[in-house]
Structure 1
Amino acid sequence: MTERKINPASLKNLELGAIARRKGKVRVTVTILPETKKWLESGGNVSERIDEVVRRIVAGELVKKSE
């Protein structure tokens, strides 16, 4: 059996803690339709895809801004 090695870069990341990896984001739980979940998962990272859709809505690219 071989000895398992530990990468120093991995140890450095662990020192930063979970909060540092969130990059200012918050964790929430939402209820969505199965079709929505399937579509979100089809594009890679679900969180990034949600953030992009919201960014485009806020920018008025997907939905007209209310006045």
Structure 2
Amino acid sequence: MRETLALLKPGGIYAVDDMLPQEDWPTDHYPLAAGMVDGLVSLDGVLSVGLTWSSGLALFTVAP
């Protein structure tokens, strides 16, 4: 994820969809998805917001 965020210009937005559990997900998928979000949120200089809209959306940006 650090490599992905390194590609963003300051203020750029990284969007991740389908963040709410889905019926067709394997049983181990949600913990992996939640862990990815937790890892992104914990990075210095990364701002985030989660939206419980549709199948779930998470937006991340790198602070200028």
What's the TM-score once normalised by structure 2's chain length? 0.28
Larger Cα Rg: Structure 1 or Structure 2? 1
Higher strand share: 2
What's the TM-score once normalised by structure 1's chain length? 0.27
Higher helix share: 1
| Relative contact order higher in (CA < 8 Å, ≥ 6 apart) | 2
